[in-house]
Amino acid sequence: MNQFPAGFLWGAATAPHQVEGGNINADMWPGEWAANSMFVEPSGDACDHYHRYPEDIAILAGVGLNAYRFGVEWARIEPEEGYFSRAALDHYRRMVGTCVEQGVTPVVTYSHFSTPRWFAAAGGWNNPAAADRFARYAGRVTEHLGDLVPWVCTLNEPNVISLLAHVGIQSAGERDQPPEPSAPGDGQRDGDAGPAVAWVSPSVEIMAAAHRRAVEAIRSGPGETKVGWTLALVDLQAADGGERRLMAARQAALLDWLEVSRDDDFVGVQTYTRERIGPDGLLPVPDGAATTQTGWEVYPQALGHTVRLAAQHAQVPVLVTENGLATADDDARIAYTAQALADLAGCVADGIDVRGYLHWSLLDNFEWLSGYQMTFGLVAVDRTTFARTVKPSARWLGAVARAGGLG
């Protein structure tokens, strides 16, 4: 018996800067090459996904998955303010078309952390023009691709800096952010770490305005697109005496953001682990607990918990847009994912409207400041030849997808 609804999206996710390679107009690029860079290594050619996407989409479809979340790169599409590259837009239209030909539903992210250099240099998300700039870009992309794209994620994890500011945690994407949120209007990073990077704003108002304006632009374009944003939903838990701190942190870093999704078609849930909060703040990973390459506790139960939280507070359908772990042990990846999916099936059984599960990540890729040492992929990528090797976890997840659940 199927544990998941008909039409459930089973897939994997990537982000353009992490896999495409040669993303030289992105704000991150100069910082990666700066003296004393905060990045352990530059992104360089990444996985050369910009050219090898047909092979990657064929691998995804071949193992039995039916959905692919990927991003279109703003820095390529609008390399100078107001100049839209027809060639870049055509590239992404071919990519979406390849998905459709292979029976793969495209889930397209419009902004996954990287932004054009001009945008970052002009103050990024803290410039009052950011919402209009993002909406103009979103409208242009939708005009070009919207008829073929049923699911759009506007912004990826706009709440990461808020998690850092209000919770102080170093988890999910935020461990890859600079240590302090930048002051409004200050797109510049400290010292010689490199030029401006437009890290998202910690302000829910600023990011929500950009999202809302983009949603309007997308809805007025072609296609029957479902639109939402994706949030970093760390499973925050109170340890003894930490209840008050937990409540405040959860409100500011998670619930305020989830409430923005109430006017959307879905909310994208991105969950990797839990963090425990005691009376004096964050607690270390419990003694003896298994950890991943990123130092996070192996805690697959986090997904079920945060899907329930998201459904309750956003009150819209849930799409799991990221879940996974960085490990060299592919059996551990399967075990983690099996538990996460069992808990997700429990959410469905309890009546929560879950539309899909997109594993992070399709490929071993550029994990921001941590570079290529972190292996989140269902598929390995040779760093010299770019040769792909399908891991057993990819075949396992594809078989689960074909069976409609864990059986």
Cα 337 from Cα 272, distance rounded (Å) = 10
Structure tokens belonging to residue 276? 């425990």
Under rule CB under 6 A, residue 298 binds ligand GCO: no
Strands 354-360 and 9-13: parallel
Buried b / exposed e across 61-90, counting CB within 10 Å, b at 16+? bebbbbbbbbbbbbbbbbbeeeebeeebbe
DSSP 377: -
Site for ligand GCO in 16-35 (CB under 6 A): 18
Site string for ligand GCO, 373-402 (x = CB under 6 A): ---x--------------------------
- Shortest reach from residue 132's CB to ligand GCO, in Å: 25
Under rule CB under 6 A, residue 367 binds ligand GCO: yes
Phi, psi of 260, rounded to the nearest 5 degrees: -65, -30
Cα 308 from Cα 97, distance rounded (Å) = 34
Q: CB–CB of 306/268 below 8 Å? A: no
Under rule CB under 6 A, residue 73 binds ligand GCO: no
Under rule CB under 6 A, residue 296 binds ligand GCO: no
Beta bridge partners of 322: 270
- Shortest reach from residue 287's CB to ligand GCO, in Å: 24
- Shortest reach from residue 180's CB to ligand GCO, in Å: 18
Under rule CB under 6 A, residue 221 binds ligand GCO: no
Under rule CB under 6 A, residue 15 binds ligand GCO: yes
Site for ligand GCO (CB under 6 A): how many residues?
A: 12
**Could you give the 3-state DSSP secondary structure of residue 323?**
strand
**Identity of the residue, 111 or 142, whose beta carbon is nearer to ligand GCO in the bound complex:** 111
- Shortest reach from residue 325's CB to ligand GCO, in Å: 9
Positive or negative, the Cα torsion across 65, 71, 72, 73? Answer: negative
Under rule CB under 6 A, residue 59 binds ligand GCO: no
- Shortest reach from residue 342's CB to ligand GCO, in Å: 22
Cα 154 from Cα 152, distance rounded (Å) = 6
Choosing from 23, 105, 114, 156, the residue that interacts with ligand GCO (CB under 6 A) is 156
Cα 10 from Cα 288, distance rounded (Å) = 33
Catalytic residue among 73, 157, 275, 367: 157
Q: What is the 3-state secondary structure (H, E, C) of 195-263?
A: CCCCCCCCCHHHHHHHHHHHHHHHHCCCCCCEEEEEEECCEEEECCCCHHHHHHHHHHHHHHHHHHHHH
**Identity of the residue, 127 or 270, whose beta carbon is nearer to ligand GCO in the bound complex:** 270
Does 157 qualify as catalytic in the annotation? yes
- Shortest reach from residue 386's CB to ligand GCO, in Å: 19
Under rule CB under 6 A, residue 157 binds ligand GCO: yes
Closest residue to ligand GCO in the complex (CB) = 173
> Smallest Cα–Cα separation from 204: which of 168, 159, 170?
159
Site for ligand GCO in 319-338 (CB under 6 A): 322
- Shortest reach from residue 360's CB to ligand GCO, in Å: 5
**Identity of the residue, 218 or 374, whose beta carbon is nearer to ligand GCO in the bound complex:** 374
Site string for ligand GCO, 253-292 (x = CB under 6 A): -----------------x----------------------
Q: CB–CB of 94/101 below 8 Å? A: no
> Smallest Cα–Cα separation from 146: which of 200, 96, 112, 198?
96
Under rule CB under 6 A, residue 155 binds ligand GCO: no
Interface ranges with ligand GCO (CB under 6 A): 15, 18, 156-157, 172-173, 232, 270, 322, 360, 367, 376
Q: Which residues are known to be catalytic?
A: 157
